[in-house]
């Protein structure tokens, strides 16, 4: 899924800034702050949005539960392994 990161987003300096940027990202890409976005994201864009690189693979940003999940495919694409699951406030 394609995405847009507004140009004024920079790497968050404080933990609460990441949550605000994720809400803005969902508003821009999912249509509401309570929406869900699924897809892959470039490393540079992950650093701008989260303040760090989470890894290759699929990201799920859920606004309703305020959780970020990262996962990779395993077993030649037959299975999905969740490698990162964190609340927005803990980023």
Which candidate, 29, 18, 31, places its Cα nearest to that of 66? 18
CB atoms within 10 A of CB 27: 15
Predicted TM-score (pTM) of this structure: 0.87
Annotated domain spans of the chain: 15-90
Residues of the chain with pLDDT under 70: 1
What pLDDT does residue 59 have?
96
pLDDT in tens, 58-71: 999 999 999 999 99
What pLDDT does residue 1 have?
63
Collect contacts of 36-43 with beta carbons under 8 A, ≥24 apart: 36/60, 36/61, 36/62, 36/63, 36/64, 37/1, 37/3, 37/61, 38/1, 39/1, 39/2, 39/3, 41/3
What pLDDT does residue 78 have?
83
What pLDDT does residue 75 have?
82
What pLDDT does residue 57 have?
92
What pLDDT does residue 42 have?
95
């Amino acid at each position: 899924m394609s995405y847009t990161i507004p140009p004024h987003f920079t790497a968050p300096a404080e933990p609460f800034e990441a949550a605000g940027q994720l809400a803005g990202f969902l508003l821009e890409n999912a249509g509401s702050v309570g929406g869900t976005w699924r897809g892959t994201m470039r490393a540079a864009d992950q650093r701008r949005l989260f303040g760090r690189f989470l890894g290759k693979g699929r990201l799920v940003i859920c606004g309703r539960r305020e959780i970020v999940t990262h996962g990779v495919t395993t077993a030649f694409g037959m299975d999905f392994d969740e490698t990162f699951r964190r609340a927005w406030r803990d980023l």
